[in-house]
Amino acid sequence: MKRRVFLAGALTALAAISSAQAQDYPTRNITMIVPFAAGGPTDVIARIVSGHMEQTLGKPIIIENVVGAGGTTASTRAAKAAPDGYTLITGHMGTHAASVPLYPNLAYHPSKDFEPVGLIAGTPILILGRKDFPPKDLKEFVAYVKANTDKLNVAHAGVGSVSYTSCQLLNAVLDIKPTGVPFNGTGPAMNALVGGQVDYMCDQIVNAVPQIQGGTIKAYAIATPERNPSLPNVPTTKEAGLPAFQAQAWNAIFAPKGTPAPIVAKLNAALSKALDDEGVRKRLLELGSVIPSPAERTPAALGALVTSEIAKWTPVLKPVTN
Ligand code: MLT
């Protein structure tokens, strides 16, 4: 009996401490882990929203790029961090969905080991080629990659990344097996494409808009039902003759499982405020991102998205065995 009273008292005291912590939160710098190299789409998106969120929260958000294994190294680290709101991760469709079927021994589960904070942006996928890649349009691209698959190098950001996953889908649609060249993110992969060291890649729009506008790479098509306002001259895959290839990624903030709900709510409110800010919206839209509606930004909506995306990718992707 005494033991039960003691336990109940201890639990009440713990709840009081955690609610006081949540009220004061944040009292120090917050670390935002980005699971890919600096300068890539995840990094750019994380920096845009964190820059506004830290004004709302009153403490700096420090970006830490932790690379490796298609974003799963960083996600493992974030899942194991103290659940106190001071370590967050900007994850995406790869780290928090596609990684599940690709890595049978994944050290974290996106649904079970994280508290969803909120969706930042949708990021349509484009098929991109080096500037002097011979095909002129998507029809020629399809014929060319089918005829030359053994000689081609496709850049990606590691097994489990969005670029890997979406080009796996493209390979399946075209029934080809080109050689994959992994990088620590599509920031460095894009440099290799611009430099002509790789032939093509499937990348999120955020990384591609400045390069396409600058004429340093070729854009064959965008894999969404509609064209994107930031790239009005790039046809959809449907318009260009490959309707079976449809792909859009997303980026979102997650906290380790057990982060107190009031802290998650504070973070979510700061994220939503950032997404309503005119300057933030302009930067995200110029880079082609799709800004979620208020209903799509809630932790519950993100939790549901993760569940549905794991279910969507599980039958499509084969586990990596080597
Ligand atoms: C990145 O930031 O480098 C990308 O999100 C990588 C990817 O998933 O393709």
Q: What is the pLDDT of residues 155-177, one digit of tens each?
A: 999 999 999 999 999 999 999 99
Three-state DSSP class for 54?
Answer: helix
CA distance 145 to 138: 10
- Which numbered atom of ligand 1 lies nearest the CA of 34? 2
With cut-offs at 50, 70 and 90, classify the pLDDT of residue 17. low
C-beta of 161 in contact with ligand 1 (< 6 A): yes
Q: Give the pLDDT mean for 186-201.
A: 98
CA–CA distances in Å: residue 238 to residues 31, 135, 258, 273, 288: 41, 18, 43, 35, 19
Specify the DSSP element, H or E, that contains 254: strand 248-256
Mean pLDDT of the chain: 94
C-beta of 90 in contact with ligand 1 (< 6 A): no
Q: Does 10 score more than 70 pLDDT?
A: no
CA–CA distances in Å: residue 310 to residues 34, 136, 315: 21, 35, 9
CA–CA distances in Å: residue 230 to residues 2, 16, 63, 120, 225: 67, 49, 27, 18, 15
C-beta of 42 in contact with ligand 1 (< 6 A): yes
- Which numbered atom of ligand 1 lies nearest the CA of 164? 9
With cut-offs at 50, 70 and 90, classify the pLDDT of residue 7. very low
Measured at the CA of 45, the angle between CA 170 and CA 224, to 5 degrees, comes to 30
CA distance 213 to 32: 30
The tens digit of pLDDT for each residue in 41-52 reads 999 999 999 999
- Which numbered atom of ligand 1 lies nearest the CA of 93? 8
Nearest partner of 94 among 70, 128, 124, judged by Cα:
70
Q: Does 307 score more than 60 pLDDT?
A: yes
Q: Tell me, what's the pLDDT at 113?
A: 98
Q: Tell me, what's the pLDDT at 22?
A: 81
Q: Does 4 score more than 70 pLDDT?
A: no
Q: Among 32, 33, 42, which is best to mutate for testing ligand 1, by the most ligand atoms less than 8 A from CB?
A: 42
Report the separation in Å between the CA atom of 38 and the middle of ligand 1, taken as the mean of its atom positions.
10
Atom 3 (ligand 1) nearest CA: 185
Report the separation in Å between the CA atom of 232 and the middle of ligand 1, taken as the mean of its atom positions.
23
C-beta of 40 in contact with ligand 1 (< 6 A): yes
C-beta of 162 in contact with ligand 1 (< 6 A): yes
Report the separation in Å between the CA atom of 55 and the middle of ligand 1, taken as the mean of its atom positions.
26
CA distance 86 to 21: 12
Q: Does 1 score more than 90 pLDDT?
A: no
The tens digit of pLDDT for each residue in 108-148 reads 999 999 999 999 999 999 999 999 999 999 999 999 999 99
Q: Tell me, what's the pLDDT at 2?
A: 53
Q: Does 235 score more than 50 pLDDT?
A: yes
Asked if 157 and 182 count as a contact pair (C-beta separation under 8 A), the reply is yes
